[in-house]
Amino acid sequence: MKASELHQKDQVALNKELSDLLKAQFGLRMQLATQQLTNTSQLKKVRRDIARVRTVLTEKANQK
């Protein structure tokens, strides 16, 4: 997800997105631990998406 798309969302939607990404990251980590994950680059993508969402949330909090 691009940062420009995240800037258009409100805090409720961003928190929902963050929650979904954290659940996805947990699932991917479990797949990795049980040798079921074939595309390990997904972990990196999800981790970076989480960072993007958290950055936008912080920016929105500091604007107020």
Residue 7 lies inside a defined structural domain of this protein: yes
Residue 38 lies inside a defined structural domain of this protein: yes
16-60 tens-digit pLDDT: 999 999 999 999 999 999 999 999 999 999 999 999 999 999 999
CATH of the domain at 51: 1.10.287
14-27 tens-digit pLDDT: 999 999 999 999 99
How many domains does the chain contain in total? 1
Contacts of 57 (CB under 8 A, 6+ apart): 11, 14, 15, 18
**Domain encompassing residue 47:** 3-58
Global pTM value = 0.91
Q: In the structure encoding, which two tokens stand for residue 51, read together?
A: 């960072």
